Amino acid sequence: MAAVRTKVGTLAKPIDPTLEQAPRIGWRAYLPTLAVAPLIAALDQLSKVVIADLLDERPGQALWVIEPLLRLRLVHNDGIVFGIFSGALSSWVTILFVLAALAAVIAIFLRYLRQPTLLARIVLGCIIGGAAGNLIDRFRLGHVVDFVDLGWWPVFNLADSAINVSMVVLVVLVMFGKLERDPQALPPTA
């Protein structure tokens, strides 16, 4: 039985000679990522403006959408995800933390994936767009605007949804080995 070789400095996955020889996709292949990211950020910002206007008419009250499952409630989150460290970190520390996490996700994609699937590239766009939507709030307001209240979960927004759903999809893609295109299906290189 042959030993499995791994390349030093990678995610310790076995070297696949076909994938190692596969060319990296060009920047044009990331056009779906570049289209989805600003779309998610814009939808997030639009939803926050609409909800803030709607709830300003009812200060301190919640607006039930589907009673008792879903209500809209304006919350200013100065912490990180789900309000963790709320009030404990300065706005700039939080911004730096978010930027570092986003840079790590992008770096992992660009460094370790030679042939990411279309779905993987769209997922990356959703993560970037969601992070951008919340970063816009932090730069503009010093906090993130959250408004979706399920009652049993921390209040969240569209950007949070895009990030969290994308991370779940990313985990599923990794579990089923569908993060990259099949090396045998790639066109031969000259």
- Examine the pLDDT at 12 and tell me if it is beyond 60: no
Does 9 map to a domain?
Answer: no
Does 3 map to a domain?
Answer: no
Q: Is 78 a catalytic residue?
A: no
Report which of 80, 79, 82, 63 is spatially closest to residue 71, judged by C-alpha positions: 63
pLDDT, position 175 = 87
Q: What is the pLDDT of residues 49-81, one digit of tens each?
A: 999 888 875 655 688 888 888 999 998 888 766
Lowest-pLDDT choice from 6-20, 37-51, 120-134, 173-187: 6-20
* HSE (side-chain half, CA atoms, 13 Å) at 81: 11
Does 13 map to a domain?
Answer: no
Does 40 map to a domain?
Answer: yes
Q: How many domains does the chain have?
A: 1
- Examine the pLDDT at 14 and tell me if it is beyond 50: no
Does 188 map to a domain?
Answer: no
pLDDT band at 2 (very low <50, low <70, confident <90, very high): very low
Q: What is the pLDDT of residues 92-121, one digit of tens each?
A: 777 787 888 888 888 877 776 778 889 989
Q: Is 56 a catalytic residue?
A: no
Percent of the chain at pLDDT > 90 equals 32
- Please state, rounded to an integer, the average pLDDT across all residues of the chain: 79
Label residue 142 left, alpha or beta by phi (over 0 means left) and psi (-120 to 50 means alpha). Answer: left
Label residue 180 left, alpha or beta by phi (over 0 means left) and psi (-120 to 50 means alpha). Answer: beta
146: enclosing H helix or E strand: strand 144-149
Q: For residue 130, what are the domain limits?
A: 28-57+68-179
Does 126 map to a domain?
Answer: yes
Active-site residue, selected from the candidate residues 44, 137, 146, 149? 146
φ and ψ at 154, to 5 degrees? -55, 145
pLDDT band at 5 (very low <50, low <70, confident <90, very high): very low
Does 149 map to a domain?
Answer: yes
Does 111 map to a domain?
Answer: yes
As a whole number of angstroms, the distance between CA 184 and CA 178 comes to: 14
